[in-house]
Amino acid sequence: MNDFGIAFQLLGIGMTTVFIILSLVVVIGNLIIRVVNRLVLEEKGTVKGRETSESLIDKKKLSAIMAAVNIATNGKATVVDITKAN
């Protein structure tokens, strides 16, 4: 095959491959989001059950604490648990 033939082949194969890979990015991304969303829903269901019996911290206070932690640690830390000292 001459050099132009190789160039044509690379144009076709190269662009197709890039499109396929970025389509995979879209498919994989969507798939992960859906799976994680479903898991989060299940987790929230169990947490809600506990909330009714224990009366947790006020939602506004919770989001303020989480935002403060996020800013102070540059997003590297997450709030896992909040307990009252006294």
Interacting residues with another protein (CB under 8 A): 3-4, 6-11, 13-15, 17-26, 28-30, 32-34, 36-37, 39-41, 73, 75-78
Look-up: residue for tokens 């995979």? 24
Q: Which residue number, 24 or 57, has a Cβ lying nearer to another protein?
A: 24
Question: At closest approach, how far in Å is the CB of 37 from another protein?
Answer: 5
**Signed CA dihedral, 67, 72, 76, 77: sign only:** negative
- Radius of gyration for the alpha carbons in the chain, expressed in angstroms and rounded: 24
Cα separation, 64 vs 57, whole angstroms: 11
Query: Considering beta carbons, is residue 41 or 55 the nearer one to another protein?
Result: 41
How long is the chain? 86
Minimum Å gap between C-beta 26 and another protein is 5
